Amino acid sequence: MKRKDSAGTQRNIRLIVAFDGTPYCGWQIQADKETVQGTLTAAIEHIAGERVSLIGSGRTDSGTHARRLVASFKTVSRIPPAALVRALNSDLPPDIRILSARVVSPSFHARHSARRKIYRYQIYRGAVLPPHLAREHYHYPWPLDVAAMQAAAPQFVGEHDFAGFASKSGSGRDTVRQIYRCELKSAALRLVLIVEGNGFLQHMVRNIVGTILEIGRGRLNPGDIETIFHKRDRTLAGPTAPAHGLILMRVVY
Amino acid sequence: MKRKDSAGTQRNIRLIVAFDGTPYCGWQIQADKETVQGTLTAAIEHIAGERVSLIGSGRTDSGTHARRLVASFKTVSRIPPAALVRALNSDLPPDIRILSARVVSPSFHARHSARRKIYRYQIYRGAVLPPHLAREHYHYPWPLDVAAMQAAAPQFVGEHDFAGFASKSGSGRDTVRQIYRCELKSAALRLVLIVEGNGFLQHMVRNIVGTILEIGRGRLNPGDIETIFHKRDRTLAGPTAPAHGLILMRVVY
């Protein structure tokens, strides 16, 4: 039988978190580094008055942003969710914001329960990068065959072994992921890639972007994507695109 | 007859400048303060190797942004415009960018020749301000009658004495301006006011925004705008809206 004395009074709280990743070494807590998880854990512990274990929907890279990352933690504190949102936002720096908080089932786990994630990668193609776009756009002012890139993007859709698009190699089914959508939109001088999948390996979106850019430059062919899936060889894919163009848009449960 | 020896070799250069105004005390050069004009003048002098007098299309307030401010200066340096753009952008901080440079007629004067200016003011109405909107949106999470605000905005269109909407009082024709467009757009949780006019008094757009917000709160009536035009009394209008929601979008010559 479970211990009930404190566990029985614990609530599981689900947060929606937005952040400007520019000054942070990513989500994951690290000693002596500013991270979103570290900053947010400290704020929660300050308010709840107890140690908490904060679970994020997944890691984000250093410099990458989030519009609606999901995080969860268990607490015996009785603070109502709306008061928690206000208290956290007054404690946190303005570049991390809690958009909402609610009590969820004890079985909810921000990482394990996540079914889909939607990422966005932004590229600015003009000769000079306007300051208001600088934080969230990769500046790529060189010629690109956008039609070839747009034709290549949907090739990532489906169940594939993404070992060749991961920065750490795995084996077997570890590196298989399902992609539901991979679409490149072009408007004026901006390119926006939307990628939706059931999970992502380290640097996977940024490596997909780097590969699509190589196709746009004519250094890779659309057919090379299939080859990289089969050969599982990271060196065949394009370089990792910079982190600051990447935004975690949403997590679906 | 004019002096020809050096004046004859001078070129008049027109720049289009974008900046994130957050860290600057506005456009206008000031001793011991970081200003856009001061920073840009120093960069031009560094590259041209001579003192220049940089003329802006107009002042901007401390913290206000610009997408396409126009500036001009005369120089005997022979650097081609495209090389000047590259040299300035490599010298300037990333929050000030030169979008283009070209040689214009000696009679062109960035301030005197300006015929129209287009400003944009951005308000975010949601409970929590997302970090990616924080630099360029005024956070106003309280109830507003948006329909009343949208009906009031066009009342600013036409030739009016804006003394009551200026932060420094003038007399007679000094404070008369022509407004061509004043439109409030509402989409999701954002309000965007577009104002186009032949000139603007100090804080005029921000005071128009503050007045429209008071109408949205029910503390002023749409009819009060006409009264403020006639009474020329700044104390009757709304408070000055914060500078960081304001963006100079374009200057027409």
Inspect the interface and report whether the beta carbons of A97 and B128 lie closer than 8 Å: yes
Residues of chain B under the 50 pLDDT cut = 1-7
Is B61 annotated as catalytic?
yes
- Separation in Å, CA of B77 to nearest CA in chain A: 23
The 10 Å CB-count burial string (b at 16+, else e) for A52-61 is bebbbbbbbb
pLDDT of residue A1: 41
pLDDT of residue A109: 97
Contacts of B196 (CB under 8 A, 6+ apart): B116, B117, B118, B119, B179, B180, B181, B182
Instruction: For residues B187 and B123, give the distance between their C-alpha atoms in angstroms, rounded to a whole number.
Output: 11
Inspect the interface and report whether the beta carbons of B96 and A136 lie closer than 8 Å: no
B183: tokens are 């439109």
- Using CA coordinates, name the residue in chain B closest to A129: B97
Instruction: For residues A148 and B237, give the distance between their C-alpha atoms in angstroms, rounded to a whole number.
Output: 56
Contacting B with CB below 8 Å, chain A residues are 18-20, 65, 67, 85, 89, 94-99, 128-132, 134-136
The answer on pLDDT for A4 being more than 70 is no
- The residues facing B13 across adjacent strands are B73, B103
What average pLDDT does the segment A166-190 reach? 87
Mean pLDDT, chain A, integer: 94
Nearest to A95 among B89, B131, B136 (CB): B131
Q: Are A119 and A198 in contact (CB under 8 A)?
A: no
pLDDT of residue B173: 62
Inspect the interface and report whether the beta carbons of B131 and A98 lie closer than 8 Å: no
Q: Are A88 and A98 in contact (CB under 8 A)?
A: yes
Nearest to A94 among B89, B134, B136 (CB): B134
What average pLDDT does the segment A177-199 reach? 97
The model's confidence at residue A2, banded by pLDDT at 50, 70 and 90, is very low
What average pLDDT does the segment A217-221 reach? 96
pLDDT of residue B167: 86
Check residue B50 and report its DSSP letter: S
pLDDT of residue A167: 86
pLDDT tens readout for residues A70-116: 999 999 999 999 999 999 999 999 999 999 999 999 999 999 999 99
pLDDT of residue A9: 86
The answer on pLDDT for A3 being more than 50 is no
Q: What are phi and psi of B102, to 5 degrees?
A: -150, 160
Predicted TM-score (pTM) of this structure = 0.92
Q: Within 13 A of A101's CA, how many CA atoms are on the CB side? A: 21
Query: Quick one: CA dihedral A233, A238, A239, A242, positive or negative?
Result: negative
Instruction: For residues B85 and B68, give the distance between their C-alpha atoms in angstroms, rounded to a whole number.
Output: 14
pLDDT of residue B56: 98
Q: What are phi and psi of B215, to 5 degrees?
A: -65, -40
Beta strand A246-252 pairing with A65-75: parallel
- Separation in Å, CA of A67 to nearest CA in chain B: 8
Inspect the interface and report whether the beta carbons of B132 and A129 lie closer than 8 Å: no
pLDDT of residue A173: 62
Catalytic residue among A20, A32, A61, A224: A61
Please report where in the chains the tokens 């603070």 appear, as a residue: A79
Inspect the interface and report whether the beta carbons of B99 and A134 lie closer than 8 Å: no
Catalytic residue among B20, B61, B161, B224: B61
A17: tokens are 């978190």
State which H helix or E strand residue A195 sits in: strand A190-197
Q: Are A29 and A114 in contact (CB under 8 A)?
A: no
Length of chain B: 253
The model's confidence at residue A172, banded by pLDDT at 50, 70 and 90, is low
